[in-house]
């Protein structure tokens, strides 16, 4: 797979296949900004990615803001949706998480782009129909 990359996934199985191929690309130290409407598949993608690394019981960090998972690789899973002020992210120690040797997924990353590192992956999930999503991946 070469990035930038765009794919139309027509089922959860195709999303799972995409996540499996990305376990070879996304490495500890990478930040992945996940953007898209509510229900577009961001959390499902992270769950599938984590399953590929032997991590089960992945849930949305909507209320916790961040979840930590350990398997073959360490994963931090953020959700910026409920963040009202950027100072909340500083208070949470977000910059310290960026220094960790972990893969960092951030749902709703577009809400606080100014806190993202200089280089990161951006995944956009766009509804095509009830079952299909257009997923684009870029390296910023």
In Å, how far are 23, 40, 101, 139 from 123, measured between CA atoms? 14, 12, 21, 9
In the block, tokens 């996934």 appear at: 9
Question: What confidence tens digit (pLDDT) does each residue in 67-100 have?
Answer: 999 999 999 999 999 999 999 999 999 999 999 9
Residue 61's pLDDT is what? Answer: 79
- pLDDT over 80 (residue 131): yes
> DSSP for the chain?
--SSEEEEE-SHHHHHHHHHHHTTT--TT-EEEEEE-TTSSHHHHHHHHHHHTT-------TTTSEEEEESSSEEEEEE-TT--SHHHHHHHTHHHHHTSSSEEEEETGGGGGGGS-SS-EEEEEEESSSS-EEEEEEE-
Domain of residue 31 covers 5-139
Residue 64's pLDDT is what? Answer: 80
The CATH number covering residue 50 comes to 3.40.50.300
Residue 103's pLDDT is what? Answer: 98
- pLDDT over 80 (residue 63): no
- pLDDT over 80 (residue 136): yes
| Strand partners of residue 138 | 122
pTM for the model stands at 0.94
Question: What confidence tens digit (pLDDT) does each residue in 14-58 have?
Answer: 999 999 999 999 999 999 999 999 889 999 999 999 999 999 888
Domain count, the chain: 1
């Amino acid at each position: 797979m070469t990035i930038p990359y765009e794919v139309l996934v027509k089922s959860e199985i195709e999303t799972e296949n995409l996540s499996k191929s990305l376990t070879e690309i996304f490495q500890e130290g990478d930040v992945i900004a996940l953007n898209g409407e509510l229900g577009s598949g961001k959390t499902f993608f992270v769950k599938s990615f984590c399953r590929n690394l032997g991590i089960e019981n992945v849930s949305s960090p909507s209320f916790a803001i961040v979840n930590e998972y350990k398997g073959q690789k360490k994963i931090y899973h953020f959700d910026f949706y409920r963040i009202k002020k950027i100072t909340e992210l500083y208070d949470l120690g977000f910059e310290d998480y960026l220094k960790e040797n972990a893969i960092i997924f951030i749902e709703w990353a577009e809400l606080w782009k100014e806190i993202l590192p200089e280089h990161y992956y951006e995944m956009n999930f766009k509804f095509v129909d009830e079952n299909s999503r257009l997923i684009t991946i870029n390296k910023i």
